[in-house]
Amino acid sequence: EAGVAQSPRYKIIEKRQSVAFWCNPISGHATLYWYQQILGQGPKLLIQFQNNGVVDDSQLPKDRFSAERLKGVDSTLKIQPAKLEDSAVYLCASSFSGRGGDEQFFGPGTRLTVL
């Protein structure tokens, strides 16, 4: 079974530039998550999709971050414009149903460096 795919793996941009990340979850998984992991910290949930609807985006900085999951399959996360403090690893995860306690399968992440 193929895992969660993410691209690119690494990205370096200047502050105020835009960047987009792509995620393809495990086939058949209804729930997709985007997390931000700053060095030395645990992952922080940015947004959770159930199929193509948003379940939780309470911690998403909506003035600069946006995400979509068209057709309930793959997803993109965009930052526009980027700030220095956005430097982090962006992890995508998926789970079968999204019910409480459901195991989450994580992708390898995209490491973003903002200069």
Partner 1 sequence: SQKIEQNSEALNIQEGKTATLTCNYTNYSPAYLQWYRQDPGRGPVFLLLIRENEKEKRKERLKVTFDTTLKQSLFHITASQPADSATYLCALGNNDMRFGAGTRLTVKP
Count the Cβ atoms, other than its own, within 10 Å of residue 96.
14
Binding residue for partner 1, selected from 8, 15, 16, 44, defined by CB under 8 A: 44
**Residue span 59-98 as binding mask against partner 1, x where in contact by CB under 8 A, dash where not:** --------------------------------x-x-----
**Using an 8 Å Cβ cutoff, are 48 and 54 in contact?**
yes
Closest approach of Cβ 52 to partner 1, in Å? 19
| CA–centroid distance for 33 within its chain | 6
Which residues are bridge partners to 68 per DSSP? 76
How far apart, in whole angstroms, are the C-alpha atoms of residue 68 and residue 63?
Answer: 15
Q: Calculate the dihedral angle through the C-alpha atoms of 78, 94, 103, 9, rounding to the nearest 10 degrees.
A: -60
User: Is the Cβ of residue 39 or residue 71 nearer to partner 1 in the bound state?
Assistant: 39
Nearest distance, CB of residue 81 and partner 1, angstroms: 27
- Closest approach, Cβ 94 to partner 1, in A, equals 11
> Closest distance between partner 1 and the C-beta of residue 27, in Å?
18
CA 54, distance to chain mean position in Å, is 13
Stretch touching partner 1 by CB under 8 A, among 19-27, 65-73, 76-84, 101-109:
101-109
Does position 48 interact with partner 1 (CB under 8 A)? The reply is yes
